[in-house]
Structure 1
């Protein structure tokens, strides 16, 4: 057990979860549980631990990200075809000649899997790993209960593993379904983050020196973000600046207080940038801290409608909803509009971003972008991309019934993007 923890860097901090999963999936000649539900915040090691264990015990599995499936048909066909490939007994040649099968509904999937069960060993284990499984709730009330009972319906030794950031209580439907085995992956605490980051330490400085730096770093950033990937990216970039006065001979390595005073201005600058800095780079000049991110200014490679969506999100996040009718309505009273325009733009920016609904962002988008109504799937794909690059962030837990977002882009970036599309965003910013 210890050697396996050493092989996978994050696993020692997930001892309870790993031992539970091993008891459920590793016993030979036993039927698997019909379903396992694993939940926890992003970057808490859910996908990594599950796939590492399945590969360690050489178990067959297929893995899907449910955000890729825009319909039930695509999801069911992917499961059916992946199962056919994994259960093939004729090797790679059979896999290459395999023709994709169609599947219209859940009943057809169950019947086709039953037919395939006649040609394979029913005790052979297969795992279906569904990431972002909360998306399945949007596909109808039948799909999720059927996937959780797929082994019972087909007679095959199949286990459905659902990975989600949402608790299981949010999955309940009116039809009702059998509850899976639930397993929680809590967020990493400060000591666990330090242990994980120390495992990837490969600089010329000692491990003790790096640990003391991480303690100071997390004392500032642990309250701001607990996303492991963001923390790792920022810690590595700021450590370069932290070591620069040591390399130049200005400060000794054991003078921790002087090193801390040297790095404080950079930490303040990083905190002002928020989530967008995670993909940026700090400058190499010791007296400055500037961003050369691929997300900044006109270097942001986005389609036109994505840039307009970013403009709408920024306006929705910084303007009060009470001023929308006055600012965006063509029939608004000129006196009222002139009064709103006299308010300070600086005051609006300094007040910080506020959460907004998806409908409000779309309303502003169509007000500032005079074009024909676009297909909702196109707009949703652009919103998903803005979320993935941390220009938008979700707000609250109810992302199904009433999704809310918050714009994390800074003012300078938004101004650069607006100039690239000849759009004056400053005149629409009001308190």
Structure 2
């Protein structure tokens, strides 16, 4: 396949990367052309660097064994990197038949240069062999990096070799004071623009769906999530998870495709939950797909609550606590990690816990970089009277008279969620300490729709 054909085919496959593909093809040239000793491909994550390179070499070489792809995560030592490269260039695959051995044992750079010369030096036409090292930033500060940059120089006329380094870090952070290596040829992959991102996402349109309707949804999704992430991979995952929820009311007869605003309103709970649960991987793909689709008959709060229960693992362990017991546990955590002198500001009826005056006071107190944060010091003991005061403050509605709060506190002590710190013979002034971590309290708070972070001294 000619260079022009490869360029046209890959440019159509990877929107927004025609300039980089053309630059790489001009550097690589024909198989027998002399290539630069080292090419440095860099750019932000999820900008198509590795995918474009792998596709380019698969078309460019037509299945030949002239490209070795290694990741510095897998090949974390020089020996692994050298031996993996030799295996690829020699077409050697470790298997049961060869006792999973490598092509040659290679412990040092000297051995590697000798093995490459032995493998490639006898070729009549010295075709260029490429070594692509992904996540090359892990090699910074090692002698391996300098050796790879100078590999073509070390081999001289014995082999035609080009090293391609792929990284998310700029070359200036790779430079070393000594080493004698010249700077490689740089190829920059910029972040995708909105138009380029939408072109890529348009390829994911399900079969049978109107492309215009799908692109309208993708545009709306981009506007919602691009502040959290511009990664094409993350956006593609969100499209795959959210589009079935978005279009389901059409098949249920709740709305038509022309009523985009109504469909967006019905899917709003999923957009909100996806930014907090799906994007952060607090809920798996299979769990997300089990949630009932949006319907005009379902309240947004019920849909969100169903997603929160899946994310928080409701139905097992600590999440099986009764409703008011959860509030008691949250109140105990607030009593353990908040100074008692601020209870009036946080829990008095009608006061906003995010008042600017208290924020200015906290900034002055935390000017030493948060050395006094209670989250680092651990829980403090609190009196039962203070626990009850916070409990009745944070519960939205009046507590049913049939609820025995004292029995529920005793149950929390029995479950070791509270630890009693006062002596056992004391009947008054009983003190306890909360034994639950922050993430567990956040999960419990979400299950009762209470924003615990707004009432925590360390985070408000």
TM-score bucket (shorter structure): 0.5 to 0.7
Are 2:90 and 1:84 equivalent residues in the alignment?
A: yes
Residues 110 and 153 in structure 1, CA contact (< 8 A), matched pair in contact too? yes
Deviation readout 1:29-66 (Å, 9 max, x if unpaired): 31111111111122211111111111112152011110
In the other structure, the counterpart of 2:339 is none
Aligned to 1:145: 146
* Ranges in structure 1 where 5+ consecutive residues have no aligned partner: 300-318, 329-335, 346-409, 417-425
Distance in 2 of aligned mates of 1:321 and 1:48: 45
In the alignment, what sits opposite 1:31?
34
RMSD between aligned residues: 3.9
Is 2:24 the partner of 1:18?
Answer: no
Give the structure with higher Rg (CA): 2
> Which residue of 163, 180, 187 maps to 2:184?
180
Q: CA deviation at 1:411?
A: 3.8
1:170 to 2:220 alignment: no
How far off is 1:277 after superposition? 5.6
Alpha-carbon distance between aligned partners in 1 of 2:122 and 2:226, rounded to the nearest angstrom: 54
Q: Deviations over 1:328-360 (max 9, x none)?
A: 6xxxxxxx9437x99999xxxxxxxxxxxxxxx
Deviation at 1:230, TM superposition (A): 1.1
CA distance in 1, matches of 2:46, 2:87: 29
Relative to structure 1, is the Cα distance of residues 23 and 3 closer, same or farther in structure 2, using a 3 angstrom cutoff?
closer
Q: CA deviation at 1:27?
A: 2.4
- Flag the 1:162–1:245 CA change in 2: closer, same or farther, 3 A: same
Write the deviation string for residues 84-113 of structure 1: whole angstroms up to 9, x where unpaired.
337x9xxx9x99997542222222222332
Aligned residue for 1:275? 280
Alignment match, 2:69:
63
Q: CA deviation at 1:191?
A: 1.2
The match for 1:42 is: 45
- What is the CA–CA distance in structure 2 between the aligned matches of 1:205 and 1:327, rounded to whole Å? 56
Structure 2 length as normaliser, TM-score?
Answer: 0.61
Which residue does 2:372 correspond to in 1? Answer: 322
Mapped to 1, the partners of 2:161 and 2:17 lie a distance apart of: 25
- Tell me, yes or no, if the aligned pair for 1:9 and 1:196 is still in contact at 8 Å: no
CA distance in 2 between counterparts of 1:158 and 1:48 reads: 21
Q: Could you say if the C-alpha distance between residues 178 and 252 of structure 1 is closer, same or farther in structure 2, counting changes exceeding 3 Å?
A: same
Distance 1:80 1:291, change over 3 A: farther
Task: Classify 1:414/1:110 alpha carbon distance in 2 versus 1 (closer, same or farther; 3 Å).
Answer: farther
1:360-371 equivalent positions in 2, closer than 5 A: none
8 A contact 1:297–1:413 mirrored in 2: no
Superposed CA deviations along residues 347-376 of structure 1, whole A, max 9, x for unmatched, are xxxxxxxxxxxxxxxxxxxxxxxxxxxxxx
Given the superposition, is the C-alpha separation of residues 204 and 324 from structure 1 closer, same or farther in structure 2, using an over 3 Å criterion?
same
Counterparts of 1:255-274 in structure 2, within 5 Å, are 255-273=259-277, 274=279
Work out the CA distance in 2 between the residues paired with 1:327 and 1:6: 60
SS class of match (2:91): helix
Equivalences, count: 324
Q: Which moved more, 1:7-16 or 1:52-61?
A: 7-16
Q: Distance between the aligned counterparts of 2:264 and 2:155, measured in 1?
A: 62
List runs of 5+ in structure 2 lacking aligned partners: 316-368, 392-437, 445-452
Q: 1:321 to 1:228 in 2, by over 3 A?
A: farther
Partner of 2:16, secondary structure, is: helix
How high is the TM-score relative to the length of structure 1?
0.65
Q: Displacement, 1:168?
A: 0.9
The C-alpha deviation readout for 1:309-340, integer Å capped at 9, x for no partner, is xxxxxxxxxx9553479636xxxxxxx9437x
CA 1:99–1:44 in structure 2 vs 1: closer, same or farther (change >3 Å)? closer
C-alpha deviations, 1:386-423, integer Å up to 9, x for none?
xxxxxxxxxxxxxxxxxxxxxxxx9469869xxxxxxx
Counterpart Cα distance in 1 of 2:22 and 2:46? 20
| Structure 1 residue aligned with 2:200 | 196
Say if 1:103 and 1:203 are closer, same or farther in 2 by CA, change over 3 A: same
Q: What secondary structure, in the 3-state scheme, does the structure 1 residue paired with 2:15 have?
A: helix
- Note if contact 1:133-1:162 (Cα within 8 Å) is conserved in structure 2: yes
For 2:213 and 2:252, how far apart are their aligned partners in 1? 17
SS of residue matched to 1:252: coil
Output the CA distance in 1 between the equivalents of 2:274 and 2:36. 46
8 A contact 1:61–1:129 mirrored in 2:
yes
Which whole-Å CA distance do the structure 2 matches of 1:96 and 1:234 have between them?
A: 44
Q: Report the CA distance between 1:154 and its aligned residue.
A: 1.2
Q: What's the CA shift for 1:236?
A: 1.8
SS of corresponding position for 2:381: helix
Quick check: 2:283–2:310 contact (8 Å CA) kept in 1?
A: no
- Shift in Å at residue 296 of structure 1? 6.7
1:122–1:4 Cα change, 3 Å: closer
